[in-house]
Amino acid sequence: MSGDGVPIGRRVAYLRARRKLSQQSLADRLGKSKSWVDKVERGVRSLERVSTIRDIAAVLRVDAAALLGREARPADTAARSADIVRIRGALSSYAVVRDRPMPVVPVDRLVRQVGYAWTVYQHARYPQVVRLLPGLLSDIDRAGARDPVAGRVAVVAAYRLTAALLVKLDDTGLAWLAADRAVAAANGDPVLVAAAAVQLGQVLRASERARSVLLAAAHRIAPPDLDVGSPEELSLCGALLVQAGLVAARCGDERATGELLDEAAELAARVGDGLDHHRTGFGPTAVELARCAAAVELGDGREAVARHKQAIRRNGWRLLPVEHRAAHLIDAARAYLQIDDPGNAARVLLAAESVAPYEVRRRPAGRDVLAQVARDPKAPAAIGELALSLGLV
C-alpha cells in the first residue's frame, strides 16, 4: 500500500499509462516478464525490494517517493534546521537587557510550565517542545534575573531540557551553551549542579575530559552511606556514573566502562525502576540500556543485542519514558547492523517509529541508521518504503 492509501501496483499502472508504455515495454526495460508486471499492477505480487522500486521509478521517470504516493521529504532536514534556528533565537534573545518592561511569571507557575515541557519531551513530542521553548526561555530569563535563588530550579530544568533536545537535533555547540547555562544557574547547589551535569555528559560524550567532570559531580552528590542515601541523591549519582561510563565507551576504554556501569547498577538496585527522579529515568533497566549502548560504542554487536533482548523483557522497560525507549531502539538497530542482521534492525526501527516518529524521521542518528538498513538488499520492503519517502535512499 502506498502512503496515500492507493495500492502501489495501481500507482505503477497509472504512471505507466501516463508514460504511454505498455506492460511489455515496462517489462522489457526492467528485465522482467509481462506477467510479472501484470501481477504487480493487480496487487498479486508485492514489491519486496527497495532496488526494484527504484528501478521502476527510474523507468517511469518519477521520484521513488512519488511511486509510493508520498512526497519526498528532505523537508525533514529543513525542519530540523528551522527548529535549531528557533532555539538559537530563544537562547540569544536576552530578554532581561531589553528596554521595554515585561511581566515576570510567578515562580510556581514557571515550575509547572517547565515540568509540562519536560513531560512533552519525554513523550517524544519534540516539535511541540520546540514551540514551547522560546516563550519558556524568555520567561525563565526574566524570572532568574528577578529572583536568582527562588527561580533557579526552573532555570536549571529549562536549560537542561534545551540541552537534551539539542543533543537530539545533533547541534553539539548549541547544546553545550544550554548545558553550560544550566550549570551556571545551579550556582553551587550540589543537587542542581548534579542534575545539570547529566546533560553536560550527554553533550560532551565524545570528550575524554568530560569523564572527570562527571565523576566529580557524582562524588559530590553521593551520600556517605549508600544505605541511607535518598532515592534522589542515588538517582543523580547513578545517572552521572552512567554518563561517565558512556564517555569511557566512546573513548574505547572497555575496563572503565564496565567498572562505572557496575557501580551505577549498585545504586540502581537501591532506587528501583519507574521513579524518574530529576528526569533521569535512572533505575536498573536504564543501566541495562546503557550497557547495550556502551557495547555498541565498543563495537561488540553480539553483546549489545544480548543486552537489548534482556532489557526489553524487564518490567522496568515499560516504565521508562517513550523518549528513552525510542532512543534505545535506535541503539539496538545499530547493534543488529553490527552483526549483519538488517531484518531485526528494521524491526526495532519500525517499533521506534511507531511510538516516536521524530526519533527515526528527523533525528540525525535515527535517519543515519534508517538509511544504512534500507540500503541492505536483505532489508524488508517496509523499511525501504519509509527511507524512500524521506529521500534517504
CATH number for the domain harbouring residue 16: 1.10.260.40
pLDDT digits (tens, 9 = 90+) for 33-84: 988 999 888 888 877 677 788 788 888 877 776 677 655 445 456 667 788 8
For residue 10, the model assigns a pLDDT of: 80
Same domain, 277 and 134: yes
Same domain, 288 and 318: yes
**Euclidean distance between CA atoms 361 and 161, whole angstroms:** 21
Residues spanned by the domain of 236? 83-328
Same domain, 34 and 143: no
**Euclidean distance between CA atoms 131 and 193, whole angstroms:** 27
Please return the burial class of 241, using the count of CB atoms within 10 Å of its CB with bins 0-12, 13-18 and 19+. buried
Please report whether residue 72 resides in a domain: no
Contacts of 173 (CB under 8 A, 6+ apart): none
Same domain, 90 and 204: yes
Same domain, 140 and 241: yes
Residues composing the chain: 393
Distance (Å) of CA 28 to CA 32, 37, 52, 58, 200: 6, 10, 14, 14, 58
Same domain, 252 and 135: yes
Same domain, 60 and 115: no
C-alpha cell at 190: 550540589
Q: What CATH number does residue 190 fall under?
A: 1.25.40.10
C-alpha cell at 139: 520567561
**Euclidean distance between CA atoms 259 and 318, whole angstroms:** 27
Same domain, 315 and 389: no
For residue 99, the model assigns a pLDDT of: 47
Same domain, 264 and 232: yes
Please report whether residue 19 resides in a domain: yes
Please report whether residue 334 resides in a domain: no
Same domain, 320 and 347: no
pLDDT in tens, the chain (393 residues): 545 556 788 888 878 887 788 899 898 888 889 889 998 888 888 776 777 887 888 888 777 766 776 554 454 566 677 888 888 888 887 655 554 556 677 888 899 999 999 999 999 999 999 999 988 988 888 776 676 777 889 999 999 999 999 999 889 899 999 999 999 999 878 999 999 999 999 999 878 889 999 999 999 999 888 888 899 999 999 999 999 999 999 989 999 999 999 999 999 999 999 999 999 999 999 999 999 999 999 999 999 999 999 999 999 999 999 999 999 999 999 999 999 999 999 999 999 999 999 999 888 899 999 988 988 877 787 888 788 778 776
**Euclidean distance between CA atoms 75 and 169, whole angstroms:** 15
C-alpha cell at 85: 534556528
Same domain, 278 and 143: yes
C-alpha cell at 71: 512526497
Look at residues 299, 328, 357 and tell me which one is the last residue of a structural domain. Answer: 328
> Structural domain tally of the chain?
3
Please report whether residue 3 resides in a domain: no
Same domain, 138 and 281: yes
Please report whether residue 73 resides in a domain: no
Please report whether residue 185 resides in a domain: yes
For residue 15, the model assigns a pLDDT of: 82
Per DSSP, the three-state class of 139 is helix
Please report whether residue 333 resides in a domain: no
Please report whether residue 232 resides in a domain: yes
